[in-house]
Amino acid sequence: MFELRQAGERTYYIESPAKIGIYLADEGAYLIDSGNDKDAGRRVRKILDEQGWQLRGIINTHSNSDHIGGNRYLQQQTGCRVFSAGIEAAFTEYPILEPSFLYGGYPCKELRHKFLLAAESEVTDFSDSSFPSELEIIPLPGHFFNMTGFRTPDDVVFLADCLSSRETLDKYQIGFIYDVGEYLNTLERVKTMNAKLFIPSHAAATDSIAELAQYNIDKVREVADRITALCETPLCFEHILQRLFTEYERKMTFEQYVLVGSTVKSYLSWLYDTGRVGVSFEDNMLLWKRVN
């Protein structure tokens, strides 16, 4: 783990729990994401130092803690800029927003840990003149608010979290999604992309992404069908979530409750907006019901 691999003349990535990209510009090295914590930041800096690469900036694909957790350490140690934009920049500067958003209120102590709550960092917008303009910014919304990918001049595309490996999907079944409709749109676009190499954060690097993108699409639709079927009888959100955990043989924890629970709410919103489920209020309880 934390092994440096070359993907192009000036493009590298570090094999780690969430892959970290490296682009070598004339003025120095730019990371694409920074890992999940200070320890990841230390390991990345060690690799950069061993190669004699000066860190100029960190370019975040999105603000989930496993992608921005090394920002603060590296920024404090090197003075590098951290690049982000829009709502992702806000979450990066004020990371308490992530567990608060997931929980829907102030997060209890079991949710205030490094896997959901990164250290804050100072952010520079993508539009700033110091951003390496030769990188192509690729919008990849859906998994999170305004997630972005990047194509380097070596024709290497970093895809962030827009898809998961087959193994991960088969094991966990439900991957985190903020906006199901946008996520499916993103996967359809990714399916048609061409590049010398694709580097997803949580799947193996590959020169062909279409098959894996379709597998992710199929899994989303399978989960949507499962939720719709559960709503044949009117159910409240908590009962839907309980049945999904039971049917998919997953263990409920605080972390899984907010991650999967937030995703299931996103599925229900999408199913409601597309007319597949309806709602009713009975005994002061919101119930979800399949629309036949």
Q: What is the pLDDT of residues 156-200, one digit of tens each?
A: 999 999 999 999 999 999 999 999 999 999 999 999 999 999 999
Residue 18 and residue 147 in one domain: yes
pLDDT at 85: 98
Task: Enter the tokens of residue 110.
Answer: 């079991």
190 belongs to a structural domain: no
Q: What is the pLDDT of residue 1?
A: 81
Last residue within a domain, chosen from 133, 161, 189: 161
Query: Looking at the domain assignment, is residue 220 inside a domain?
Result: no
The answer to whether position 206 is within a domain reads no
Q: Residues 146, 241: one domain?
A: no
> Is residue 251 located within the same domain as residue 153?
no
Same domain, 143 and 250: no
In a 10 Å sphere around its CB, with 0-12 CB exposed, 13-18 middle and 19+ buried, how is residue 28 labelled? middle
Same domain, 147 and 236: no
pLDDT tens readout for residues 106-118:
999 999 999 999 9
- Decide if 180 is inside a domain: no
Q: What is the CATH number of the domain that holds 242?
A: 1.10.10
Tell me the residue range of the domain where 42 lies.
Answer: 3-161
The DSSP-derived string for 1-40 is --EEEE-SSSEEEEESSS-EEEEEETTEEEEE---SSHHH
pLDDT one-digit tens code per residue, 210-234? 999 999 999 999 999 999 999 999 9
Residue 176 lies in a domain: no
Residue 219 within any structural domain of the chain: no
In the listed set 161, 189, 207, which residue is the last one of a domain according to the structure?
Answer: 161
